[in-house]
Chains A and B, each alone.
Chain A
Amino acid sequence: MIAYILRRCLYAVVILIGVNLVTFLLFFKVNTPDDMARMQLGAKRVTVEAIALWKADRGYDRPLIFNAEAQGVARLTDTLYFTKSLEMFRLEFGRADDGRDIAFEIRSRMWPSLMLAVPVFLLSLLVYISFALLMAFFRATYLDFWGVAICVGMMSVSALFYIIGGQYLVAKIWSLVPISGYAGGVDSVRFLVLPIAVGVIGGIGSGARWYRTIFLEEVGKDYVRTARAKGLGEVAVFYGHVLRNALIPILTGSVVAIPLLFMGSLLTESFFGIPGLGSYTIEAIQAQDFGVVRAMVFIGSVLYMIGLVLTDISYTLVDPRVRFE
């Protein structure tokens, strides 16, 4: 397994360089360093000298990828790409273009994101799997029919509706929890109850239907028929065999998402005033802040790859036949 993980890490380095390069090229295709300077200096009374000074101070006065005026290796190293992007591999995120430390910002914003995302993730798994098992258990009955109908109905409604509807009903009309906001420690519970509930309920439709499909596929397999033929009860068949064998596709979708949980949720965090990482990247793109964009894309890529490796490892835990070869 160790050899496998090492091999995946080596692949990861190559992928990360590629992702970094694509991000860099896409970003500078849309924004030039002059545009970035104008964005930072404001729209009023900006002079050419001020732009030149800003670029020199922030290191954006170098050529993008190839420095024709330099000699030797410096032709590649004395470039914007090398100085700005490759330092990511030393986990040096540097400063945002407004001067603030990116690592500090990520550290302080990841906890509120996790406070929201982890409970939503765990509760969602529990609720969706339970609901899906029920539907599969009562397959081809009116309970299954109405379960699917409710799921389709819930899938058809925009996530925004759950958020605004939840806020209106629970927080405004019933006054049970605050509409939005966040506090640290135990106090956070009253602010998080509603976004967590909305996050779980909003995904029931698609989540439960997806798991139901997985369970129904398993239910039709030979080993289930054999188990029933041997006289096992339905509950024992479902919990002892079907659920266990359905874990591989469930893990495929779930474990890969675990490391990404800390990246936050754009919509939920925005509406509920949770100071997480959900909007950090989008705000940076709007502000043309390359420092933050490259850091968040890098972290996102790393986490995604970690998620994939964790998924592979989790397969061996639920299915002993899986081998790393």
Chain B
Amino acid sequence: MLYSAFSQRPKHLDPAQAYASDEYDFISQIYEPPLQYHYLKRPYTLMPATAAHLPKPQFFDAHDRRLPENASAASVAYSVYELRVREGILYAPHPAFARDPSGKPTYMGLRREDLRDKSRLLDFRKTGTRELTARDYIYQIKRLAHPRVHSPILGHMSEYIIGLKEYSEQLVAEDKKLGAAREPGDASPFLELDQSEISGVTEVDRYTWRIRIKGKYPQFSYWLAMPFFAPVPVEVDRFYSQAGMAEKNITLDWYPVGTGPYMLTENDPNSRMVLERNPNFRGEPYPSEGEATDTANGLLVDAGKLGPFIDKVVYSREKEGIPYWNKFMQGYYDQSGISNDNFDNAVRVAATGDAGLSEVMEARGIRLKTSVATSSYYLAFNWLDNVVGGQGDAAQRERGRKLRQAISIAVDFDELISIFANGRGIPGQGPIPPGIFGFRDGLQGINPVVYEAKGDKVQRRSIDTAKRLLVEAGYPGGRDARTGQPLVLYLDTTAQGPGDKARLDWYRKQFEKINIQLDIRTTDWNRFQEKVRKGNTQMFFLGWNADYPDPENFLFLLYGPNAAVRFDGENKANFQNAEFDRLFEQMKNMDNGPVRQGIIDRMVGILREEAPWVWGFHPKDYGLYHAWLSNVKPNQMARNGLKFYRLDAQAREQMRAQWNRPRVWPLFLVLLLLVLAATPAVRGWRERERRSETVRQPQPDPT
């Protein structure tokens, strides 16, 4: 049994809705999309999960003629992904599959009164299973369009999956009709998704289905490794849609069911959630190849053996970091992250910058594993702003560019990482984080606007360089050369708690280095988002976590037609550059290789020169693991590695007993102190009573 913890309750466990990492921690063990990421290989590599093999897209022109694999994106009208699921894969036991002897579903057509004695899924005693089919995957794609499910990727997928938009509109109209016919107080009626089909999604046979995608979209394969494309059987959806179920929280969002290695047997997101081995899981062989260092790190010992190796995983909710940390140190949790408060106790950073464990940690056999997150945190300039933006005539654009470059040098993210993140991060040299194709390491990858190479060392450009750029921008000494007014810039942020003050002061100091006054405008998250959407900002901080390991997923954040103000897209800086946009369109549909790398280099070069962001940092994740837990390798793209973890429960019990021997003597000491403290009171009490008695004694008559 593995013990772990979670701090935030997962909002959704429905694979059509879940999109956050704390939700994926659970559903990735339960649901199986057709594809998955290799557990050990880096860079991240796709491999089949339930699919028989990796799909190879076929390209067609507007006349349905097949095109070669290397066809240009412009010539491709649509791509076809044909997926075949392996036969014999079974769902975890679930009441929706239970059937009576006549073959009828046991728990279908239930009335509210039938649910009187049922308050959780376990109260449905009979369960069954069935084989996974292509139909279940098609059904889930339909669920993305369900008007009551609100899948976050519906809008995005509607741009690619042929017919999904039309299907979605049809469902909205159908749902309105059902809603109008519904009597007040009645449960929401079941919306029949199989009444019509999505024109671009077809069932070929029991195990095969095809998805037609508009144009060429190589990144679609990555989406097929996300739970959005995991199978959901129609009978499960029907089961949960019966009257009275939702009032008891018996919903697909609460009790997921899949074909994965684990099933959720207890769901109390306020207290604990329990995953248990799915008895119908076929077993998955532990990978037999990985990175060069994996053998030395003992990560290939179990090669070829069938996982999962752990029967049960108990996740307890720990809202606060202190008890979580203490319980990890006691051995009651098998793994933990490191908060800023505990960093100094846990980690020792060598003069070389390498992180190692402190003596206390090493004495307990704890191991540290680090990995750079596939995320970028950045300080964005609003391209539409008159001062820091990139609009106007050539002279104005040039002034803005020099100003942004000066600020990029002045705001020292190396220092921020050191002060506020205990060194857990690497300064950004561009939008693409390490681990993603297109990222360049070492001297080749430095941003020449902010850094310069001195021999084989890299150092930040001097503040004098920044000041010179500021002069060229028309702000000598931080004053507007034309008006003589001091240059005041505005930073919008949601940070406003007492804990944020140090960081906000640090920002001010960075700008003061080049005599720019920084006015920090703090606001709540809603207003902040609104300001960014409407372009009412000058500078702001944001971050982005990769959906999939492709440079397109980062470079699209600066693609003109994705601008937030004009197109409500993810280009929050509203950056606009015709050359960059042209290269992006060329790059996004290419296979990884030297040609693509060359284009990416040019794109990143444009970005560094134009500096629409200060290239912030890519955080580093630090994980601690007890010695009895093995086969752990952090994976930034997938969270389904639990099936390969191995645990030595006996060693854990021994260490727990050794580390946590109860000490009873302090209780006796406390008791003794209380007795000692009470003694004067008791004596005083008796004394008073004695005196009262004396006063009450009849006194002899003096006469």
Binding site for B on A (CB under 8 A): 30-32, 35, 38, 40-50, 53-54, 57, 95, 98-101, 103-105, 108-109, 112, 134, 137-138, 141, 143, 164, 167-169, 171-176, 178-182, 231, 233-235, 270-273, 275-276, 279, 287-288
Contact = CB atoms under 8 A, between A and B. Distances in A.
Given A109-B270, A233-B689, A270-B320, A49 B155 contact: yes
Contact of A179 (B268, B330, B530, B667): B330
A40 B680 contact: no
Contacts of A112: 271
B323 A98 contact: no
Interface in B287-327: 316-320, 322-323, 326-327
A276 B524 CA distance: 28
17 contacts: A32-B526, A35-B526, A41-B150, A50-B155, A54-B150, A57-B147, A100-B254, A108-B270, A109-B270, A141-B684, A175-B330, A179-B327, A180-B320, A182-B271, A233-B696, A271-B320, A273-B319
B663 interface: yes
Contact of B318 (A134, A180, A279): A180
Contacts of B254: 100
B150 A50 contact: yes
B326 A179 contact: yes
A319 to B, nearest CB: 28
Interface in B264-290: 268, 270-271
A288 B155 CA distance: 23
Interface string B233-261: 00000000000001111010110000000
Interface in B542-590: 547, 568, 570
Contact of B322 (A42, A169, A271, A276): A271
Contacts of A138: 681, 684
Given A31-B526, A100-B249, A45 B692 contact: no
Q: Which of B271, B316, B530, B688 has the most CB of A within 10 A?
A: B271
A312 B270 CA distance: 36
B316 A181 contact: yes
A175 B660 contact: yes
A95 B245 CA distance: 13
Contacts of B681: 134, 138, 143
Contact of B326 (A105, A137, A167): A167
A32 B316 CA distance: 34
Q: Which 6 A-B pairs have the closest CB atoms?
A: A47-B155, A275-B270, A275-B271, A35-B526, A180-B323, A175-B660
B152 A50 contact: yes
Nearest to B692: A233
Contacts of B326: 167-168, 171-172, 179
Contacts of A104: 247-249
Contacts of A95: 246
Contact of B529 (A38, A41, A143, A178): A38
A276 to B, nearest CB: 8
A235 B248 CA distance: 56
B488 interface: no
Nearest to A272: B323
B156 interface: yes
Contact of A98 (B11, B148, B317, B530): B11
Contacts of A41: 150, 152
Given A172-B326, A273-B319, A275-B271, A53 B152 contact: no
Contacts of B246: 95, 99, 101
A174 B271 contact: no
Nearest to B660: A175
B455 interface: no
Given A101-B249, A275-B268, A234 B316 contact: no
Nearest to B11: A98
Contacts of A32: 526
Contacts of A49: 155
A44 B268 contact: no
A244 B628 CA distance: 61
Given A104-B247, A141-B684, A231-B696, A45 B150 contact: no
B695 interface: yes
Contact of A48 (B20, B568, B661, B689): B568
Nearest to A37: B150
A235 B692 CA distance: 10
A275 B317 contact: yes
Contact residues on B (Cβ < 8 Å of other chain), bracket: 35 or more
Nearest to A40: B150
B684 A174 contact: no
A308 B692 CA distance: 41
A119 B362 CA distance: 42
Given A234-B692, A273-B319, 12 more contacts: A42-B19, A47-B568, A48-B568, A99-B251, A101-B249, A167-B323, A167-B326, A174-B664, A180-B323, A271-B323, A275-B317, A279-B319
Contacts of B660: 175
Contacts of B148: 57
B253 A45 contact: no
B245 to A, nearest CB: 10
B247 A101 contact: yes
Nearest to B530: A35
B20 A42 contact: yes
Contact of A143 (B11, B251, B662, B680): B680
A45 B11 contact: no
Interface in B310-351: 316-320, 322-323, 326-327, 329-330, 332
Nearest to A134: B681
Contacts of B327: 178-180
A269 to B, nearest CB: 8
Contacts of B688: 137, 234
A123 B324 CA distance: 28
Nearest to B188: A57
B642 interface: no
B490 to A, nearest CB: 22
Contacts of A275: 268, 270-271, 317
Contacts of B420: none
Q: Which of B322, B667, B688, B693 has the most CB of A within 10 A?
A: B322
Contacts of A44: 19, 152, 547, 570
Contacts of A100: 249, 253-254
B685 A137 contact: yes
B172 interface: yes
B624 to A, nearest CB: 17
B604 interface: no
A157 to B, nearest CB: 17
Contacts of B12: 98
A236 to B, nearest CB: 9
Contacts of B319: 270-271, 273, 279
A101 B248 contact: yes
Contacts of A46: 152, 155
B501 to A, nearest CB: 19
B692 A53 contact: no
Contacts of B695: 231
A293 to B, nearest CB: 15
Nearest to B322: A164
B251 to A, nearest CB: 7
B666 interface: yes
B663 A175 contact: yes
B663 A273 contact: no
Contact of A53 (B147, B248, B330): B147
A273 B271 contact: yes
A51 to B, nearest CB: 10
A143 B695 CA distance: 23
A99 B253 contact: yes
Contacts of B661: 175
B247 A175 contact: no
A101 B19 CA distance: 22
